Structure 1
Amino acid sequence: MRLYTIGFTKKSAEKFFGLLREAGVSTLVDVRLNNVSQLSGFAKRDDLKYFLSELCGTQYTHRTDLAPTQHLLDDYKKRGAGWATYEAQFLNLMQSRHIENTVPQELLDNAVLLCSEHSAQHCHRRLVAEYLAQQWGDVSIDHLA
């Protein structure tokens, strides 16, 4: 199984959709808690669905079960919890949600996990990909930059 991740910030629409086309992903799995923010520009849910279909022939799905809770996000972004704390709490959340059993493997085969962060290093999309790779085995991860 091949699984990609991508963030949309610090990317033009041309770069973003070009990366997706080059990778040949079949499905974009939106793992953001809020996918309709005005700050998302071309990556707002309805615009993104249209652009993915028209420019890349790619399907769109939104999976909030792969997103952090608002409380967890607020602790990290607004209340200054460190990355190590956030990572540990998010890993516990994925375990408690049993995402390895509830997310169909077929959905993520040749799919890309989308979040807003430019880099996967401090983004939950990397944690989701690594967690599922560990649980499922035989998963290669490619972070599109």
Structure 2
Amino acid sequence: MKLYTIGFTKKSAERFFGLLCEVEVATLVDVRLNNVSQLAGFAKRDDLKYFLSEICGINYIHRVDLAPTQPMLDDYKKHGVSWTAYEDRFLELMKRRRVEDTVPQELLDNAVLLCSEDKAHQCHRRLVAEYLAQHWDDVTIQHLG
């Protein structure tokens, strides 16, 4: 199984959709808690769903069970909780939610996990991908630009 991740910040729409079309993903799985903010630009839920379909023929699905909770996000972004503490809390949340059992593997086969962060190293999409790769067989992860 090939699983990709991507963030939309610091990317033009041309680069973002170009990367997705290039690797020919079947489905974009939006793992953001909040996906309707005006700050999301072209990645706002309804616009993104339209662009994905029209530009690349990619399906869109939103999975809040793969997103952090609002208090977790607030603690990290607003209250100075360290990345290490956030990561530990998020991985515990994935474990409690049993996402390895509740998310269909076929949904993520040749799919891309979307979040806002430019780089994957401090983004929960990387944590989701790595968590599932530890629980499922033969998963390779590629972070896109």
Range of TM-score over shorter length: over 0.9
Name structure 1 gaps, 5 residues minimum.
none
Name the structure 1 match of 2:26. 26
Q: Distance in 1 between matches of 2:12 and 2:62?
A: 22
Name the structure 2 match of 1:136. 136
Moved over 2 A (4+): none
Q: Distance in 2 between matches of 1:137 and 1:79?
A: 37
SS at structure 2 position matched to 1:137: coil
Name the structure 2 match of 1:72. 72
Shift of 1:19: 0.1
Letter in 1 for 2:122: H
User: Is 1:83 aligned to 2:83, yes or no?
Assistant: yes
Letter in 1 for 2:15: K
User: Is 1:54 aligned to 2:58, yes or no?
Assistant: no
Letter in 1 for 2:96: S
Q: Distance in 2 between matches of 1:101 and 1:12?
A: 35
Which residues of 2 match residues 5-20 of structure 1 at below 5 A? 5-20=5-20
Matched residues, number: 145
Shift of 1:137: 2.2
Q: Distance in 2 between matches of 1:49 and 1:88?
A: 31
Shift of 1:47: 0.2
Name the structure 1 match of 2:125. 125
- TM-score under structure 2 normalisation? 1.00
Name the structure 1 match of 2:35. 35
Q: Distance in 1 between matches of 2:73 and 2:34?
A: 11
SS at structure 2 position matched to 1:34: coil
SS at structure 1 position matched to 2:19: helix
Q: Distance in 1 between matches of 2:36 and 2:89?
A: 25
Letter in 1 for 2:85: T
Q: Distance in 1 between matches of 2:64 and 2:117?
A: 16
